[in-house]
Structure 1
Amino acid sequence: MNHRTLGNVGAVSEVGYGSWQIGSDWGDVSESEAVEAVEAARDAGIDFFDTADVYGDGRSEQILGDVLEADIASGDVTVATKAGRRLDPHVADEYNEANLRRFVNRSRENLGVETLDLVQLHCPPTDAYYQPETFDALETLADEGKIANYGVSVERVEEGLKAIEYPGVESVQIIFNPFRQRPAELFLDEAAACDVGVICRVPLASGLLTGALSRDTEFAEDDHRNYNREGDAFDVGETFAGVPYEVGLDAADALAERVDAVADDPTDATGDDCSLPQLSLRWILDHDAVSTVIPGSTTPEHIRSNAAVSDLAPLGEADHEAVADVYDEFVREYVHQRW
């Protein structure tokens, strides 16, 4: 497993583990499945774990705290959590020191630590990025030793660009994948210029880029891929990366076909024999400004396959052209200017 720098947080595995699935919103996941998934991630060399206090109302944090207890104590892993989505109503003014302190203390208890490695504002309303007092509150919590570092998790590129104006922000988490390419136009370069780490979430577009979904796939009632397709519960960009489901299926099929054609071309010496999800993760890592990518899964085989992407060579020019062509033909009109 290769490592990259995540701001002042330090070196982290370039393939991390996103633990939304072991908390909630992806159908039923038993505790034994969750534990097995986290253990598989560690065995595969992953040492960066991303969670949030609202994933299963703290369940994800608690499972990570229990399974990784020894690694956390020894400093062998980095656990990043998020705060803010417990607010009701979820408004910018409530991103204040009193509320953030309450959320941070709850996460410290859930994870069983005195100091949280990294706390990220959890996709707050845009106005929160224009409130210096919100970032002053995070700085206060850092001065007190309750958090070691802080960053943000954003929905929109513009929010990420605003966040990195604050000198204490060490990381920005953003959706970036072959179906959500806009961050590569400006944001990644700006983050790198500010030495801010970039965490890429929803890297497989909620399963679209695994190639395993079809028009006949049925999602559980409590799976966000069922109930949030129109953004009824939270930002629609978090579900299938904001791409309409049927459009996403067509795009995934087209990408798989074009990548296969590249791999079969005897004149192209750079084609690796990798799966569609591996190609998608490798495409993300081919952008040097990316610190880590955080696919989530409860299947040990998939977790090992994701981690193995770290050992793959960068994609060739033809693969990158295939990704760009599919994006332009199928996806761009639905997502590019929205996020």
Structure 2
Amino acid sequence: MASFTLSRHHVASSVAVLSGAKLVHRSAASLRSRVRATGRRLLTTVAAEADTAAEQRADRAVVSSGDDRLEICRVINGMWQTSGGWGRIDNEDAVDAMLRYVDAGFSTFDMADHYGPAEDLYGLFINRVRRERGDELALQVRGLTKWVPPPVKMTRAYVESNIDRSRKRMDVKTLDMLQFHWWDYADNGYLDALKHLTDLKEEGKIKTLALTNFDTKRLQIILENQIPIVSNQVQHSLVDMRPQTHMADLCNVMGVKLITYGTVMGGLISEKFLDANISIPFAGPALDTPSLNKYKRMVDAWGGWNLFQELLREVKKVANKHGVSMSTVAVRYILDQPAVAGSMIGVRLGLKEHIKDSQAIFRLQLDEDDYERIASVTKRGRDLQDMIGDCGDEYRRA
């Protein structure tokens, strides 16, 4: 596989940056320099960036491949929390909550075929939007779903039946985005599945085709097979910076975006866990959800609870400086990373909301001192690329 060694500055040199409500672009000379340095393949990417940058707002991003194009909110409502383990979900309360998020500008929802009732809830929600708010608002809402098939032969009929099931549950003619996951790279049936998905996209059943938890090597193979991928959804946080090791460089060269999850680590990056001693039962906040337990394991792999507390204290200083929450700082930091189009924040629909914190993300601008404070701790953690492997490898270890 080709080696990608572009620096962070080089990779980010053509990305539009926001100053208040205005888009400020790097100079034309910088863009020309980037094209010369990276080769003719990059010319298409730079042109696409120039075409879409003017349309982007602080809270919106465009993911695209060729003529396939989708505008999404940069803070995405993650619906993993509907799958159980976070409290009982009432359908009516959940749909009410989804409407409140949309009214606040957070109109992109992420789900999966295996997230309990997530796709069905989206179907109830989008029907209510059509009924009560009309088609204009309905067309602004985005429903991103995932397909996580078992290891079986990927025939056209099998692939199509699963896509049709999601379309029926979500009550849409066309899926805004289908994000594909694959368990075993030793079985290259993922290429068969993606070719069938590409055909279904051409037939109008899918608007944009994406990946989730694929590593850099397989992403490159997929792109070399002319599969029109717009994004790859991966874990990315202050603790887990693996996407910036190799993945972001490839994405920037090829025009693919990253959508991130685990960015607030299930709530671990928050005031609730600052200075918390979780080693003594009942002495501090409980790790009482699947996501808290999942990301506590990432903390252990990265450097342990004591080092994580040092990180939280520095994040708290940055948060106090800007008058925002710690989770707001954590999300803003990742949104500012190369190739990142959007970051997921889990929503406990009808149980708990964080709309105000999410709105603050778009007003926050971190400065060099903020980055240095955070880096003073993160650089002392273990390299998770070495510990675990590339993006998504934690799901494929024996």
Change (3 A) 1:196 1:155: closer
2:183 maps to amino acid: P
2:358 corresponds to: 306
1:3 corresponds to: 60
* Alpha-carbon contact 1:6-1:170 (below 8 Å) kept: yes
Q: What CA distance in whole angstroms lies between the structure 1 residues aligned with 2:347 and 2:331?
A: 14
2:261 maps to amino acid: R
Match of 1:141 among 193, 200, 207: 200
Shift of residue 200 of structure 1? 0.8
Match of 1:64 among 108, 122, 135: 122
Change (3 A) 1:245 1:60: farther
* Alpha-carbon contact 1:278-1:305 (below 8 Å) kept: yes
Q: Deviations over 1:253-301 (max 9, x none)?
A: 212322444577xxxxxx5222210110000111242111111122554
1:224 corresponds to: 290
Match of 1:108 among 159, 162, 167: 167
Match of 1:176 among 217, 236, 245: 236
1:6-17 to structure 2, matched below 5 A, reads 6-7=63-64, 8-17=68-77
Shift of residue 246 of structure 1? 10
Change (3 A) 1:107 1:335: farther
* Alpha-carbon contact 2:310-2:377 (below 8 Å) kept: yes
* Alpha-carbon contact 1:202-1:241 (below 8 Å) kept: no
2:309 corresponds to: 253
**What number of residue pairs does the alignment pair up?**
313
1:78 corresponds to: 142
TM-score, with normalisation over the residues of structure 2?
Answer: 0.70
Secondary structure of the equivalent of 2:201? helix
* Alpha-carbon contact 1:175-1:200 (below 8 Å) kept: yes
Q: Which moved more, 1:134-143 or 1:250-259?
A: 250-259
* Alpha-carbon contact 2:242-2:385 (below 8 Å) kept: no
* Alpha-carbon contact 1:155-1:175 (below 8 Å) kept: no
1:327 corresponds to: 378
Change (3 A) 1:319 1:84: same
TM-score, with normalisation over the residues of structure 1?
Answer: 0.81
Change (3 A) 1:149 1:211: same
1:268 corresponds to: none
Secondary structure of the equivalent of 1:79? strand
2:126 maps to amino acid: L
Secondary structure of the equivalent of 1:9? strand
* Alpha-carbon contact 1:37-1:297 (below 8 Å) kept: no
Secondary structure of the equivalent of 1:34? helix
1:200-279 to structure 2, matched below 5 A, reads 200-213=260-273, 214=276, 215=278, 216-220=284-288, 223-225=289-291, 239-240=295-296, 242-244=298-300, 249-261=305-317, 271-279=321-329
Give the number of the structure whose alpha-carbon radius of gyration is greater. 2
* Alpha-carbon contact 1:50-1:79 (below 8 Å) kept: yes
Gap runs ≥5 in structure 2:
1-57, 279-283, 391-398
Change (3 A) 1:151 1:25: farther
* Alpha-carbon contact 2:156-2:196 (below 8 Å) kept: yes
Q: What CA distance in whole angstroms lies between the structure 2 residues aligned with 1:246 and 1:27?
A: 29
Secondary structure of the equivalent of 2:232? strand
* Alpha-carbon contact 1:141-1:147 (below 8 Å) kept: yes
Q: What CA distance in whole angstroms lies between the structure 1 residues aligned with 2:170 and 2:186?
A: 30
* Alpha-carbon contact 1:84-1:103 (below 8 Å) kept: no
1:232 corresponds to: none
Q: What CA distance in whole angstroms lies between the structure 2 residues aligned with 1:302 and 1:110?
A: 27
Match of 1:289 among 326, 339, 343: 339
* Alpha-carbon contact 2:61-2:342 (below 8 Å) kept: yes
Q: What CA distance in whole angstroms lies between the structure 1 residues aligned with 2:76 and 2:167?
A: 21
Q: Are 1:26 and 2:86 matched, yes or no?
A: yes
Change (3 A) 1:324 1:155: farther
Q: What CA distance in whole angstroms lies between the structure 1 residues aligned with 2:296 and 2:187?
A: 26
Q: What CA distance in whole angstroms lies between the structure 1 residues aligned with 2:347 and 2:360?
A: 14
The root-mean-square deviation of aligned C-alpha atoms, in Å, is 2.9
2:148 maps to amino acid: G
Secondary structure of the equivalent of 2:383? helix
Q: Deviations over 1:9-40 (max 9, x none)?
A: 32211111111112334343333453343223
Shift of residue 219 of structure 1? 4.7
Shift of residue 77 of structure 1? 1.3
